[in-house]
């Protein structure tokens, strides 16, 4: 079997490389650079000295790819390592250069700053970047401006609950060392020194993009113009929450985010137009490889669009894929082939190993791999059936066009469904209806009009192509709103075990990457993953990262919370993971809690929970409660006098050290605790303070951590001992 699949072996190289990255990211300790270098060197020696035969070659090559994945991730960590705030500070004065201005209609602006100085902070401790939100928009602010403001700053937040998305890790790899809110007016000042050369380039590009965006919204005001601006410059901040939600619930949100679809259309249009123009010149068409020239033009066009659209990571990823596709055309190789998909994935993982845990990366390559694999199989079936002969009638072509859109939507939807469920806890069942309407409009009207807009803008003639683009956008938005309102358009799914997700991914890869009949064995792990999906128990008590917001599970299985406004985001994440459609405000009514000025009490599966808001009532709480949660620090522990001690005590210090907590009341009366910092506390991107742990041999730490991550089985303890941006 393996020998017959020799042409598919390369497809597994990025998979093995990704496993190595996962081992590093999920390790409970930070291995030294020397250790991972030795690991990679050892794997190279093993590969060179590997045994003869197919088995020896595959085993040693797989181990080498995994070791190189660990090495690449560790090197990337070292390259981006930069100071990160370790506590809340402020208000403090911040002076620096504006890198990025993102409007938030009705909510001010979100501004990324390269600080030159922060009050009471040594230059060596300055983060590379900080991001602040202003309550009011600063008129005329643009990238490259030197500014001064006062702000409350803090470290990027960690997971809202154990196993949740870790924004602190994302921020670390973006060199974003602080997040905050401006407490005063931001003012422009004279520059402190010379602006870095690369920032001069970035500021020029951002100013250019803002100018393009201003002309778009002037010609197309309102929501239509905001979407047009998003599709051309990548700036989505002006799109309303209601429209974003309609696109999300209808399965069309991928259209609002510039990615592979948009890049393929734009680069494809450049390729088609350039080839058509060159073909009209006989002297060139008959003597020169105009197809290759057009492919080179498409690559240039793709990178021009990359710059105009803001160079977001999803767009960079798509530009790499486009370069490989049209590079294959230049080299007389098949453009749409799984080898090209695998090569693109490998290049991205080498350059940005952290992207392995990016939901966009996972969903993009899952969809592309499934589509290319399915169409390769379909092409082989057609060739075997009728020798490749096609039907050329207009009706047949139209039906084939509609059928391909439907088939593409179904295949891509099935491919990304596990990722949507695992990361976002929902799936869109009626996405195929919206996509049948929106994709042709996007492909044939909206994006060609966007390209025409960019070409006409230097001449001041963008109004007409924008008008056409607006008609297409209105059609897409209408489809999104109609489908989003249909019953059953969105199915919410509670958090599934990581091992179930991993089984479905492994089965999907086996099914898609092999070509012979044994690929069908991939259905078994997919089935196993589906069967394991409901197996994850839901926590009975959830405690936020500051211990000020607490949710308990009621008798009907829903969560009821109590806390302050700062915990709204955490509560929203808890409800989402619980497949609960309620808003945070609806779940924070305090139902099930009895409160007085000193705190609150609640019963959770026959266990008494006390929320201490004041030290004055702490002694009574500790004497009678099974679980005590204090929103302040208990420097001396829980005072119990002669009474019994509570089984669990969690204070503000515990959440600062270990992150958010999830508690499970066991049948025997005990309490199992999971914390968001169990695996990440000692990593460079951790948002919480490290805790002392037994030393684990570095060669085994990653495998041990990956095993714990897969089985979702944190240790049971007697005492309390993890598109999105979560500001």
Sheet containing strand 671-675, edge to edge, reads: 559-562, 550-553, 541-543, 661-665, 671-675
Model confidence at 703, in pLDDT bands (50, 70, 90)? very low
Q: Output the six-digit token pair for 271.
A: 């390729």
Residue 44 in this model has a pLDDT that exceeds 90: yes
pLDDT value for 694: 35
> 607-612 and 671-675: which strand pairing?
unpaired
Q: Mean pLDDT across the stretch 417-435?
A: 90
Residue 336 in this model has a pLDDT that exceeds 90: no
Model confidence at 139, in pLDDT bands (50, 70, 90)? confident
Q: Output the six-digit token pair for 64.
A: 């080498």
Residue 637 in this model has a pLDDT that exceeds 80: no
- Strand segments, DSSP code E, in 13-108 are 89-103
Q: What is the pLDDT of residues 141-188, one digit of tens each?
A: 888 889 999 999 999 988 999 988 899 999 999 999 999 999 988 888
Model confidence at 667, in pLDDT bands (50, 70, 90)? confident
> CATH assignment of 89-195, given 3.40.50.720, 2.40.50.140, 1.20.1250.20, 1.10.1040.10?
2.40.50.140
Residue 655 in this model has a pLDDT that exceeds 60: yes
* CA separation for the pair 333, 185 (Å, rounded): 57
**Partner residues linked to 134 by β-bridges:** 109
Q: Is 506 helix (H, G, I), strand (E, B) or coil?
A: helix
Model confidence at 693, in pLDDT bands (50, 70, 90)? very low
pLDDT value for 101: 86
pLDDT value for 680: 76
Closest CA to 568 of 81, 40, 160, 143: 160
Average the pLDDT over each of 561-565, 568-572, 721-725 and give the range with the smallest value: 721-725
pTM exceeds 0.85, yes or no: yes
Q: Output the six-digit token pair for 428.
A: 């869109």
If you write DSSP's letter for every residue of 308-324 in order, what string do you get? HTT--HHHHHHHHHHHH
Q: What is the pLDDT of residues 244-276, one digit of tens each?
A: 999 999 999 989 888 877 888 889 999 999 999
If you write DSSP's letter for every residue of 656-696 in order, what string do you get? HHH-SEEEEE-TTS-EEEEETTTTTTTSTT-SS--------
Terminal Cα distance for the chain, rounded: 51
Q: What is the pLDDT of residues 345-400, one digit of tens each?
A: 999 999 999 999 999 899 999 999 999 998 888 777 776 666 555 555 677 777 77
Q: Output the six-digit token pair for 92.
A: 């403090």
**Partner residues linked to 611 by β-bridges:** 600, 629
């Amino acid at each position: 079997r393996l020998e017959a699949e020799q042409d598919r072996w390369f497809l597994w190289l990025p998979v093995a490389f990704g496993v190595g990255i996962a081992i590093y990211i999920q390790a409970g300790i930070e291995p030294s650079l020397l250790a991972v270098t030795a690991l990679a060197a050892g794997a190279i020696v093993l590969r060179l000295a590997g045994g003869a035969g197919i088995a020896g070659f595959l085993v040693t090559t797989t181990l080498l790819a995994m070791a190189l994945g660990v090495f690449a991730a560790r090197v990337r960590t070292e390259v981006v390592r930069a100071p990160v705030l370790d506590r809340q500070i402020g208000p403090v004065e911040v002076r620096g250069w504006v890198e990025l201005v993102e409007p938030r209609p009705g909510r001010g602006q979100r501004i990324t700053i390269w600080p030159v100085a922060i009050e009471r902070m040594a230059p060596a401790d300055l983060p590379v970047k900080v991001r602040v939100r202003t309550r009011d928009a600063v008129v005329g602010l643009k990238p490259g401006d030197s500014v001064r403001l006062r702000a409350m700053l803090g470290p990027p937040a960690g997971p809202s609950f154990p196993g949740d998305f870790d924004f602190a890790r994302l921020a670390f790899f973006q060199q974003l060392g602080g997040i905050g809110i401006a407490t005063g007016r931001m003012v422009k000042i004279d520059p402190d020194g010379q602006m870095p050369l690369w920032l001069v380039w970035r500021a020029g590009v951002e100013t250019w993009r803002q100018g393009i965006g201003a002309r778009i919204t002037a010609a197309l005001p309102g929501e239509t113009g905001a979407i047009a601006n998003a599709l051309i410059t990548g700036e989505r901040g002006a799109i309303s929450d209601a429209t974003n939600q309609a696109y999300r619930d209808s399965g069309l949100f991928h259209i609002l985010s510039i990615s592979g679809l948009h890049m393929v259309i734009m680069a494809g249009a450049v390729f088609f137009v350039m080839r058509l123009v060159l073909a009209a010149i006989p002297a060139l068409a008959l003597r020169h490889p105009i197809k290759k020239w057009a492919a080179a033009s498409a690559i240039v066009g793709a990178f021009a669009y990359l710059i105009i659209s803001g160079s977001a990571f999803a767009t960079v990823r798509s530009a790499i894929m486009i370069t490989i596709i049209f590079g294959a055309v230049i080299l007389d190789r098949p453009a749409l082939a799984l080898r090209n998909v695998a090569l693109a994935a490998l290049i991205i993982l080498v350059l940005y190993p952290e992207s392995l845990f990016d939901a966009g990366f996972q969903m993009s390559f899952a969809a592309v791999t499934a589509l290319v694999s399915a169409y390769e199989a379909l092409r082989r079936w057609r060739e075997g059936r009728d020798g490749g002969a096609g039907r050329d009638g207009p009706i047949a072509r139209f039906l084939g066009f509609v059928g391909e859109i439907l088939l593409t939507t179904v295949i891509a939807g099935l491919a990304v469904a596990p990722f949507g469920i695992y990361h976002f806890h929902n799936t869109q069942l009626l996405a195929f209806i919206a996509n049948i309407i929106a994709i042709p409009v996007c492909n044939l009207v909206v994006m060609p009009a966007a390209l025409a807009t960019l070409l006409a803008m230097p001449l001041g003639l963008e109004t007409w192509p924008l008008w056409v683009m607006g008609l297409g956008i209105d059609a897409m938005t209408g489809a999104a709103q109609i489908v989003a309102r249909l019953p059953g358009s969105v199915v919410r799914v509670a958090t599934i075990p990581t091992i179930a997700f991993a089984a479905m991914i492994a089965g999907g890869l086996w099914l898609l990457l092999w070509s012979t009949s044994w690929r069908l064995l991939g259905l078994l792990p997919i089935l196993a993953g589906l069967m394991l999906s409901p197996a994850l128990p839901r926590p009975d008590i959830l405690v936020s990262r500051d211990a000020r917001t607490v949710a308990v599970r009621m008798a009907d299985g829903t969560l009821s919370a109590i806390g302050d406004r700062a915990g709204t985001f955490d509560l929203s994440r808890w409800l989402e993971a619980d497949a609960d459609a309620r808003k945070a405000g609806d779940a924070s009514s305090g139902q099930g809690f009895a409160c007085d000025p000193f705190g609150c009490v609640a019963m959770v599966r026959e266990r008494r929970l006390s929320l201490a808001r004041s030290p004055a009532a702490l002694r009574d709480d500790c004497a009678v409660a099974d679980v005590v949660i204090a929103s302040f620090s208990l420097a001396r522990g829980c005072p119990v006098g002669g009474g019994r001690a509570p089984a669990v005590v969690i204070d503000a210090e515990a959440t600062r050290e270990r992150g958010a907590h999830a508690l499970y009341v066991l049948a025997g009366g005990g309490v199992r605790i999971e914390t968001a910092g169990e695996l990440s506390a000692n990593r460079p991107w951790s948002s919480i303070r490290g805790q002392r742990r037994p030393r684990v041999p570095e060669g085994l730490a990653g495998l041990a951590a990956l095993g714990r991550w897969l089985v979702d089985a944190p240790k049971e303890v007697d005492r309390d001992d993890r598109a999105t941006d979560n500001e």
